[in-house]
Chain A
Amino acid sequence: MFKNYLKVAFRSLNKNRVYSVINILGLALGLTVTILVFMFIKDETSYEKHWDGYERVYRTGIKADMMGQKMDAPVSPSPMANALRTEFTDVETATRINTINQEIMMRHEQTKVYIQKGVYADSTFFKIFNYEFVHGDPNTVLKEDNAIVLTEETARKLFGDKSALGELVNYDNRQDYVVKGIVKEPKGHAHFHFDMFMAQNSIRNVWMQNNFHTYVKLKEGADYTAFETEMKRNFIKKIEPDVERFLKITVEKFFEQGNAFEYQLQPLKDIHLYSHKDWEIEQNGNIIYIYVFIGIALLVILIAGINFMNLSTARAGKRAKEVGVRKVTGASRKMLIVQFLTESIIQSFIALFLAFILVELFLPGFNNIMETNLYLFNDHLGMTLAFSLGVTLFYGLFAGSYPAFFLSAFQPIAVLKGDLTKTKGGTLLRKSLVVIQFTASTILIIGMIIIFKQISFLQNKDIGFNGDQVLVVPIQTDPMVENFRNYKDIFLKNSNVLSVTRADYYPGDTPNQNMYAVEGNEEQFPLWNLGVDYDFFKTLNVELLEGRKFEREKESDSIPYFIINETAVKTLNLENTVGTRLGTFINQNGDMAYGNIIGIVKDFHIEGFNQPIRPMVLSISNNLWFASFKIAPNDMSATVDFIENEWNKLEPTHPFRYTYLDQKFGALLRQQENFGTMFLFLTILAIIISAMGLYGLASYTAEQRTKEIGIRKVLGASVSQIMNMLTKDFIKLVLIANIFAWPITYLLAKNWLTNFSYQIDMPIMPFIFATILALIIAIITVSSQAYLAANSDPVKALKYE
C-alpha cells in the first residue's frame, strides 16, 4: 500500500513538473534559510558554555550617573577580586584581568613577533576559565609575577617546533617573562580571545579607579540574590574614602546631589548577546540579530508553506478523479489522507536533501558576510539534522494537511461524473494565503530599505573628522615618545606627507575618562580626555569653532591647556567658554591642576553610532603612543614606504606597523553593514519564493479559465482585455497585503531604529517603493501567464472540454 503511495507520489511529481519545482525549490530555499539561521543561533548562543560551571560565573560592572554623565561599564577596581575571594562565603573564587588594547612585540632570542591580544591575569584566572593545559599546572601557573602562559599558536610563532616551557620571552623590549604554561585554544566561543596571559597579582587599594575586569564564580547552590545584595552593600562602603578624598564630599552628600553609583553583576553566558556597555573587551553579538533572523526564517518558511498549500488545493481538480476512483475501489477517507500526507512529506524530504546541498553552497558566503566560522559537519551536526528533520516533518504535515483533508473530502459521484475542475472550494482561502504571503514579502522589502537607509545615513553622517589617507602608527619605545616632536621634520621633508601628529587614541579606539571641575565650582564631571600633540586638528581635519588651536610658541610646558568639544560646553554649562579655567587631578591625593580652556572644537565621533557623542577634553601632552600622518592622495604607497623607511631608522628594534584611520573607524559600522547585507539576501530569497508561488497560482488560474477565455475571445475580447481581467484579481490581493504590511513594518522598524543614537526620520518613501515593487513583481509574474492564456487559440480552448 505504502509502495503504491510512493509510486503515485513520484509519478505525480514528475507529471506536474512546474508545480513540483515551485513546491520543492521553494521549500528547499525556506529550509536552507531555516537551517542557516539555526546554525547561526546555535553558534551565537554557545558562548562561554565550555567553561566548567559557567552558569555560576558573573562579571562585575559599574552603573553610574554622575553630574548627568551616565556610565555603564563592565569594569572594576584593582582590589575587588581579592575582596570577593576573602569577604564572601558564597564565592568559590574570583579573578581579575587587565586587557592590553594594542598589539605587543614579543621576542624570543632573535624571533620578534607582534602578538595581538595579551592580557594581565591574576593567579585564579584558570580556575574560572579552565583552558586545557598542554604544559604547566593551571593552579599555580600565574602565581609568580614574571610568569607568562602562551596559547599553542603563540608558542609556535615564537618558538617554532622547540619546547617553550621554562624559556624566556621578552615583552616589548621591557620585561622578561618565563613561560610557565601552554594552553590549547578553547573549544568554544568566549567574549574574549587571548593569545597570551601575563601574571599580575599586585593590588593597589584604590576603589575609584576602574581599569580591570573582574569575574566571580559562586559556590554551587549559592543564593545569587542574597550574594548580589550583600556585594552591593559591602562594596559601596569601600568607595567612601575615595569619594571623600577625590570629590571632597561625603558619600551621603554625593547621593543627595542626585548622583547614582552601583556595582552590578552580569551572568557570563549573557555577555555575548546582551552586553553592549562601554569598554567591552571585544564587540559583542546582538540578540536583535537573532530575533530578526528568526523572524525572517519564519516568514520565508511561511511563504514557502503557502505556496505548497495554494498549489496543492488549486490543483485539486486534477487529482479529483483519482480521489473518486480510489474511493470507489474501496479507499477510506483515512487512507486518502495518509496518501496525500505521504506525498507532501516526500516532497518535503526531497526539499530537505536539496536544502542541505544549498546550505553547503551558501555557507562560505554566509560566513563571509556574518564573519562567522560555521560549518555543517561540526559537533552540532546531530542537532542540526534533528532540528531540520523536525521542521521538515512538521512542514510536510502542516502544509500537507489542508490539501489532504480538502482532497479526501470529495464525493466520488460528483467527481467521476462531472468534471470537478470548476470547484469553487478554497478560492477564498487561496486568496487569503496570497495576501499573507505578500504581506510577509512587503514587510521584508520595506524593512530592507529602511535598514539600508539607516546604514547609509550612518555611513554618510558627518563624523566631525576626516580619516582618509591618515596613517596611524603605534610608537613602541620610550626614546621615540620623548623625542617625537624633534623627528617630525624628518617626515615632513617629503612633500607628500602633509601633516604629522600624535594622540592617546583615535576614533575607533576605546576612549579614556577623567574627572574635571570648573574652577570655583566643586562639582566634578566625568569627561573623556584625549591627549594630543600639535597639529592634531590639522591632521584629522577637525574644525575649530572658537578660540585657538594648541600652539607650541604660546604655551608653557608647566601649565595644562584645554580645548573642549561642543558637547562638553553644554555639559559644563559654560557661557564664556574660552578663558574659563578647568581643573583635573594630578595625583592620588586628590590634588588638582587648573588650566585655561583655549578653544572649542566641533564634535567628532570616537565611538560607534550606537553611542551619542560624549563631552570631551583635549589637552596637549608629550606622553603619546600613537603617531599619525596625513599623506597626499597621489603616490600613496611610495609615501608609506618613505615613512616606513625613516621610521625604521628611528626605532630599529620594532618593525614598522600601521593602519588607516578611515578603515579603523569604518570597522565600527561593519556589524551593521553585515547585518544589512544578510537581510538583503534573505529578502531577495523570500521575494523569489513568493513570486514562484504567484507564478504557479496564476498559471493555474489561467488554465482553469481556458474555456472562459476561449468564449470571450470568440465573442470579440482583445488580448489586452483578457490580460487585464486575469491580472486584476492578483493586483487587488497585493494591494490588500500592503495595507497590512505598512503598520506592521512601521512598528518593527521604529523599534529597530531605537538601537541607534543617530537615526533617520521614519521615511514614507520605502513604503511606497515597496508597494510599487510588490505590484511590479506581481504584474510581471501574473501577466506572463495571462499573456500566454490570452494568446491561446480559442478553438483549442473550447474543444478542451
Chain B
Amino acid sequence: MIKLSNLSKVYRTDEIESTALNEVSFEINEGEFVSIMGPSGCGKSTLLNILGMLDKPESGSYQFLDNEVAQLKEKERSDVRKKNIGFIFQNFNLIDELTVFENIELPLLYNKVNSSERKKRVNELIEKIGISHRASHYPQQLSGGQQQRVAVARALITKPPLILADEPTGNLDSSHGNEVMELMCELNEAGTTIIMVTHSAHDASYSNRIINLLDGQVVSEKKSKSVQAAI
C-alpha cells in the first residue's frame, strides 16, 4: 500500500536548518497495523504528516497505492486524502460548533454524499461505537474518551482504506485509552490499514509491527509482542 524510499524532510527557519527525516525507507502492506515510536523530536509526526499528505517531503519517493504522490500539488493531494485517509489526533480536533452527529457527518459532506445516505451511515456508525445517545451533544459535553471515539468515527465514516492516528490515547486516562485502542483493533480486523504514532509501549503492543525512529532515521523494525506471541 505504502512504499517510502529515501524520504527526507528538512525544516528551515531564518538561521537554523534541521533535518526531521533522513533517508527513511519502508513499506506497509494493506491490512497492517503499524506503530511508529521514538522520543520527542525524532520525526514521528513529520513522517505521519507526510504519509497523510498534509506535508511534502524534501526528496525521496512516496508511493501510495502504486502511485507516486511525493510531489503532488495541494489540490491533488487533497483529493487523494479525501478518498483514502482518515485522521485521528491526540487532541481530538472536533469542531466545537458542531454536534457529535455533524462532526462525524462532515467528511461525507465534503465527499458529496447525499443527505439520506449520510444519515444512514452516521447513525450506523454512531450505534456501533456506542455513543448514539450523545448524537446531538456538542464536543464540550463529552468525556475525553467519548470525544476520541467521535473522532475515530469521523475518521472512519468515509470507509478509508488507511487510518492515521497521532497519539490517539495521549490525552486519555488508561481505561478510556484502552477503549479507543480496542476500537482500533476491531477496525484493523475488519481490514483497515492503520498507522499510529505513539509514545506508549502499551498502545504499540496492539499493533502488529513497530517502527522505531531516532533523529529522523529508522533504527529498527520488529513485529510487536502480541504478533510474536500469536506466531
Binding site for B on A (CB under 8 A): 1, 4, 7-8, 11-12, 15, 321-322, 324-333, 335, 411-413, 416-417
Contacts and interface: CB of A to CB of B under 8 A. Distances in A.
A328 B54 contact: yes
Contact of B93 (A11, A321, A330, A335): A321
Interface in B42-56: 45, 49, 52, 54-55
Nearest to A419: B91
A330 B95 contact: no
B95 A327 contact: no
Given A322-B95, A416-B93, A330 B78 contact: yes
A195 B91 CA distance: 80
Contacts of A327: 78
A335 B79 CA distance: 13
Contact of B75 (A321, A324, A332, A412): A332
Given A329-B110, A332-B75, A11 B97 contact: yes
A327 B49 CA distance: 13
Contacts of B75: 332
Contact of B106 (A326, A333, A411, A416): A326
A159 to B, nearest CB: 70
24 contacts: A1-B109, A1-B110, A4-B98, A4-B102, A4-B109, A7-B98, A7-B102, A8-B98, A321-B95, A322-B95, A325-B93, A325-B95, A326-B95, A326-B106, A328-B81, A328-B87, A329-B110, A329-B154, A330-B110, A332-B75, A335-B110, A411-B54, A412-B54, A413-B54
What's the dominant secondary structure at chain A's contact region?
Answer: helix
Given A11-B97, A412-B54, A332 B78 contact: yes
A303 B149 CA distance: 46
A5 to B, nearest CB: 10
Given A325-B94, A332-B110, 4 more contacts: A8-B97, A326-B95, A330-B107, A416-B91
A629 B148 CA distance: 93
Interface string B64-93: 000000000011001001100001010101
A328 B48 CA distance: 13
Nearest to A335: B110
Interface of B: 45, 49, 52, 54-55, 74-75, 78, 81-82, 87, 89, 91, 93-98, 102, 105-107, 109-112, 154, 158
B65 to A, nearest CB: 17
Contacts of A416: 89, 91, 93
A753 B103 CA distance: 62
A26 to B, nearest CB: 23
Contacts, number: 66
| 3 A-B pairs with least C-beta separation | A330-B110, A330-B82, A11-B97
Contacts of B105: 4
A743 B78 CA distance: 52
Contacts of B93: 321, 324-325, 328, 416
A413 B55 contact: yes
Most buried by A among B54, B89, B107, B154: B54
Given A322-B95, A322-B97, A412-B54, A329 B107 contact: yes
Given A328-B54, A332-B75, A15 B109 contact: no
B119 to A, nearest CB: 13
Contacts of A322: 95-97
A505 B98 CA distance: 77
Contacts of B107: 329-330
B95 A8 contact: yes
B73 to A, nearest CB: 12
A418 to B, nearest CB: 11
Nearest to A9: B97
Contacts of A4: 98, 102, 105-106, 109
A6 to B, nearest CB: 11
A11 B140 CA distance: 14
A15 B82 contact: no
Nearest to A328: B87
Nearest to A417: B45
A413 B98 contact: no
Nearest to B49: A413
